[in-house]
Homo-oligomer: A and B are copies of this chain.
Amino acid sequence: MTRWRLTIEFDGGPFMGWQRQDHGPSVQETVEQALFRMTGELATLHAAGRTDAGVHALAMTAHVDVVKHLTQHRLREGLNALVRPAPVSVTDVSPVADDWHARFSCIGRRYLYRILNRRAPPALYKGKVWHVPVALDAEAMAEGAMHLVGNHDFTTFRSVHCQSASPVKTLDSLTVERTGEEIHIRAAARSFLHHQVRSMVGCLALVGRGRWTPEDVRTALEARDRQALGLNAPPEGLYFVEAIYP
């Protein structure tokens, strides 16, 4: 048996999310089925993070145990041929130690959130950005973001379906930057609560529109109450960028 580490890029648009679901296609199932067709093995893929429906990944990390002997080249090429036409691409594979775990060995996760901030809707990046037609003040958003960095109880920014043992997390960084017509929000932490990035982006968008002051973000955080949340940003702007390992 070999434990393989996989790096996977995917367009979340057609999927119900990363995790296998009864009611629709998932990235996990797509890759697991491709592997089954290659090896005849019903193996389970474990990922660094479970993304929601519509959320994309530039480089999700996962692992899977395979009994059949395969070369790196054969595994990657085989999976990429068999996942077609799903918008999933295995960009890298490498053998890892048997106790290496994509989720539990992970010491850092990075996300990017893309807002298209112009009046006209997206054409080229449809389904790949959150379209906000009202002008946003990126500097005010960056100021609001600073209140969230650090070790906090993020109950306000947590989905009711969140399975994390504790709402206390350390947010290492949260930056807001305008590049042309887009605003890019980047978040890094050891781990995130369910919907945390989208909840934070939603509040920052309220700051950008001038409905909230930057300080209102701190007030919402300190409320430790989901009702204090302004708005959950939609999934299509969110990208899982990278999982970091020791």
Q: Which of A's residues lie within 8 Å of B, judged by CB? A: 9-11, 56, 58, 76, 80, 87-92, 118-124, 126, 128
Q: How far is the CB of A210 from chain B (nearest CB, A)?
A: 21
Say how many copies of this protein the assembly contains. Answer: 2
A12 to chain B, nearest CB (A): 9
Partner of A11, one of B11, B80, B87, B123: B123
**Chain B residues, Cβ within 8 Å of A56:** 124
Give chain B nearest CB distance to A34 CB in angstroms: 13
Bound complex: CA A90 to CA B89 (Å): 32
| Complex: A122 Cα to B58 Cα, angstroms | 10
* Cβ-closest chain B residue relative to A81: B121
Within the complex, the shortest CB–CB distance from A90 to chain B, in Å, comes to 6
Q: Are B9 and A89 in contact (CB under 8 A)?
A: no
A92 to B9, CA, bound (A): 33
- Report whether B76 and A91 are in contact in the complex, using a CB–CB cutoff of 8 Å: no
The residues of B that contact A126 with a CB separation of less than 8 Å are: 11, 87
A-B contact pairs, 28 of them (CB 8 A): A9-B120, A9-B122, A9-B123, A9-B124, A10-B123, A10-B124, A11-B123, A11-B124, A11-B126, A56-B124, A58-B124, A76-B119, A80-B120, A80-B121, A87-B123, A87-B124, A87-B126, A88-B123, A89-B120, A89-B121, A89-B122, A89-B123, A90-B120, A91-B118, A91-B119, A91-B120, A92-B120, A124-B128
Q: Note all chain B residues with C-beta closer than 8 A to A87.
A: 123-124, 126
- Closest chain-B Cβ to A110's Cβ sits at a distance in Å of 15
Cβ–Cβ < 8 Å partners of A9 in chain B: 120, 122-124
- Nearest CB in chain B: distance from A122 CB, A: 6
Chain B residue at minimum C-beta to C-beta distance from A89: B123
Q: Are B10 and A120 in contact (CB under 8 A)?
A: no
State how many angstroms separate the Cβ of A8 from the closest Cβ of chain B: 8
